[in-house]
Chains A and B, each alone.
Chain A
């Protein structure tokens, strides 16, 4: 890694649209996740499930339970969004440990895109669940004087989401790259193990915060 960690290399141009490396890696991860899910969920059985099916059910049920505990409501309607968010973040964060790959979440655009999706999703779900007027009135709670601050906090929360994710993943990879260039092949291994843990922790934090934001928007929990 010789370039700046803050730059996003363009792989190719699709007309006027530059397709950067995070986008390409994301496509690969999307294909792997979709294909893997389709294959794993191909022969699901009610009785005597196999090991793969058991793992799938364990992952899905754990996600649903965790989201339900966070949002204090039935998690099934929110499972595709938040579950996919966690799985993508975990896999994307860990993909940086694969030699030759760079985690898509180490780019600010990817983190910003995910934060933007969470921001827009929370607004859309809040309006759909509570109605436009009631949802907008929530920004003037507990007093209309706090309306500008509440609106600002919506944006800053999404911003902090993206920056937190980007900073942690990017810094981890950057530190590993520096140590690797200075100390040799096996010295960064402990740091990579730490990065493995940090990647999962960041995925968890991002997902839980997203669940909190959406829960606050739909009114199942207090708006943070």
Chain B
């Protein structure tokens, strides 16, 4: 057996050359392509991972929104209910206020109409009473009713102060006195009236007697500037006025109360 050293050397060199050749023509380009593909794959994987992360984020956001939806819905419903309740309360309060106001107005109007009706009824009652009294007095004997009233009128003149009586005389003599009577005065009554007036005024008197049935009963003494009335006409008018005035005062008192 013979071992050739040259062959060993040549084969070793051949192998090293083959290493260099394959490194140049095989390993380097193939590894470069593999590395490039891995880089591309890694990039795609990174992009896919980023897309997956984005999708996961979007899914979580949607999940969070979906989870928050019932709470948001409940909150909105509660807010809407509260708003509706407030609006309903406001409307009820407004309606109640308007109803109270309308009721108050109606009550006031009814009270006013009632008072007006009552006042009208009272007026009518007073007028009816006055008419009834006038009708009843008209049937009574006039001289019986007129005489006391004549005496009363004369007594009123006599009861005046001196200055008032002097004013009634007005500085003339005889003093003109226009006597309006409900019925024709008897002569003795006219004389007695003239005498008492002359005595009261301190000077002679010129009586002018006139009949006026509208007085019902009684007389009116007309001086130059004053009139002394004592008649049922006046009495009934005063009674009617007083009744009406009392009704007005009572109505005012009711209104104040």
Q: Give Cα A109–Cα B22 distance, bound, in whole angstroms.
A: 22
**Is B7 within 8 A of A80, CB to CB?**
no
**Is A112 within 8 A of B26, CB to CB?**
no
Q: For A60, give its contact among B6, B18, B19, B26 (CB under 8 Å).
A: B26
> In chain B, what residue has the closest Cβ to A31?
B21
Q: Indicate whether A7 reaches chain B with its CB closer than 8 angstroms.
A: yes
**Assuming A18-B4, A45-B33, A60-B31, is B11 touching A114 (CB within 8 A)?**
yes
**Assuming A23-B11, A117-B15, is B21 touching A37 (CB within 8 A)?**
yes
Q: Give Cα A91–Cα B16 distance, bound, in whole angstroms.
A: 16
**Is B34 within 8 A of A41, CB to CB?**
no
Q: For B10, give its contact among A19, A33, A38 (CB under 8 Å).
A: A19
Q: Give Cα A149–Cα B36 distance, bound, in whole angstroms.
A: 47
Q: Indicate whether A104 reaches chain B with its CB closer than 8 angstroms.
A: yes
**Is A56 within 8 A of B30, CB to CB?**
yes
Q: Give Cα A18–Cα B7 distance, bound, in whole angstroms.
A: 8
Q: Indicate whether A222 reaches chain B with its CB closer than 8 angstroms.
A: no
A-B contact count (CB 8 A): 120
Task: Please give the number of chain B residues whose Cβ is less than 8 angstroms from any Cβ of chain A in the complex.
Answer: 33
Binding site secondary structure of chain A: helix
**Is A23 within 8 A of B14, CB to CB?**
yes
Q: Indicate whether B253 reaches chain A with its CB closer than 8 angstroms.
A: no
Q: Indicate whether A79 reaches chain B with its CB closer than 8 angstroms.
A: yes
Q: Give Cα A83–Cα B23 distance, bound, in whole angstroms.
A: 9
Q: Indicate whether B64 reaches chain A with its CB closer than 8 angstroms.
A: no
**Is B19 within 8 A of A109, CB to CB?**
no
Q: Which residues of A contact B7 (CB under 8 A)?
A: 8, 18, 20, 22-23, 107, 109-110, 113
Q: For B33, give its contact among A30, A57, A112 (CB under 8 Å).
A: A57
Q: Which residues of A contact B26 (CB under 8 A)?
A: 37, 40-41, 56, 60
- What is the 8 Å Cβ interface bit string for chain A, positions 142-170, against chain B (1 contact, 0 not)? 00000000000000000000000000000
B30 vs chain A, min Cβ distance (A)? 5
- What is the 8 Å Cβ interface bit string for chain A, positions 98-119, against chain B (1 contact, 0 not)? 0000001001111011101100
Q: Indicate whether B55 reaches chain A with its CB closer than 8 angstroms.
A: no
**Is A84 within 8 A of B29, CB to CB?**
no
**Is A27 within 8 A of B22, CB to CB?**
no
A156 vs chain B, min Cβ distance (A)? 17
Q: Which residues of B contact A80 (CB under 8 A)?
A: 19-20, 22-23, 27
Q: Indicate whether A66 reaches chain B with its CB closer than 8 angstroms.
A: no
**Is B11 within 8 A of A104, CB to CB?**
yes
Q: Indicate whether B69 reaches chain A with its CB closer than 8 angstroms.
A: no
**Is A30 within 8 A of B14, CB to CB?**
yes
Q: List 30 A-B contacts (CB under 8 A).
A: A8-B2, A18-B4, A22-B7, A30-B17, A34-B25, A41-B26, A46-B37, A46-B40, A47-B40, A57-B33, A57-B34, A60-B34, A80-B22, A80-B27, A83-B22, A84-B18, A84-B19, A84-B22, A84-B23, A85-B15, A87-B22, A108-B1, A109-B3, A109-B4, A109-B8, A109-B11, A110-B11, A113-B7, A113-B12, A113-B15
A46-B33, A83-B27 given; name 15 further pairs at CB < 8 Å: A18-B7, A23-B11, A23-B14, A33-B18, A34-B25, A46-B37, A53-B33, A60-B27, A84-B23, A87-B22, A108-B3, A110-B11, A113-B8, A113-B14, A117-B16
Please report A residues at the B interface, Cβ cutoff 8 Å.
Answer: 6-8, 17-20, 22-23, 26-27, 30, 33-34, 37-38, 40-41, 44-47, 49, 53, 56-57, 60-61, 76, 79-81, 83-85, 87-88, 104, 107-110, 112-114, 116-117
